Amino acid sequence: MKSTQEIYNLLKEKFQEKVIQHLNTLPKEEVIEVRPESINEIVEFLRDDKELHFDNLILLSGVDDANGSKNKLEDGTEEITGGTLSVYYHIESMDLRHKLVLKVSAPRENPEVESIYDVYGCANWHEREAFDMLGIIFKNHPDLTRILMPYDWEFGYPLRKDYRNPEFYQGMKVPY
């Protein structure tokens, strides 16, 4: 069983600048932030190392940080430019009974994150959901298509903070 600080030291030693920082602002959970293009090799190491042995991906979730510049539009809604979209990975070791939260952030205009499907198979649909809801692009994903919204949905990503409802979808009125 290892603490997040110990794991961070191990990762920093092995991956150096690919591991960005250890976020430890109580009472939030401790988070290790890494670079989006190397998340797959880092989780592969975390899974295969005998001391760490993270054998299970609990959850993968996308977040709109909404930390870009906000400009009010005429109809009262907001438009966000710049800033980041993030993905959080909760992984655990059922064998050694420790868990860890990883985070990657990618720029809002081009949110490309490496897929971890090769390491944890169950990430497949989680990544499709993050793509569907927030438009995060997972590189090397086997089938990155919408999972919840209709395949022909062309009005953007509904969980982004600056999402706006369309007036009509296939002739059906959308607003109340």
Smallest gap, in angstroms, from Cβ of residue 172 to another protein?
Answer: 6
Length of the chain measured in residues:
176
Give, as one character, the DSSP assignment of residue 160.
Answer: S
Question: 110 or 176, CB closer to another protein?
Answer: 176
Distances, alpha carbon 20 to alpha carbons 2, 16, 40, 132, 150, in Å: 20, 8, 15, 27, 37
State the pairing for strand pair 137-139/69-72. Answer: unpaired
Smallest gap, in angstroms, from Cβ of residue 135 to another protein?
Answer: 14
Smallest gap, in angstroms, from Cβ of residue 2 to another protein?
Answer: 41
Question: 20 or 147, CB closer to another protein?
Answer: 147
Question: 64 or 114, CB closer to another protein?
Answer: 64
Q: How many CB atoms lie within 10 A of CB 147?
A: 17
Question: 107 or 156, CB closer to another protein?
Answer: 156
Question: 94 or 148, CB closer to another protein?
Answer: 148
In the complex, the residues that contact another protein under the rule CB under 8 A are 148-150, 158, 163, 165, 169-170, 172-176
Smallest gap, in angstroms, from Cβ of residue 9 to another protein?
Answer: 43
Smallest gap, in angstroms, from Cβ of residue 82 to another protein?
Answer: 24
Burial class (CB in 10 A: 0-12, 13-18, 19+), 145: exposed
State the pairing for strand pair 56-64/31-34. Answer: unpaired
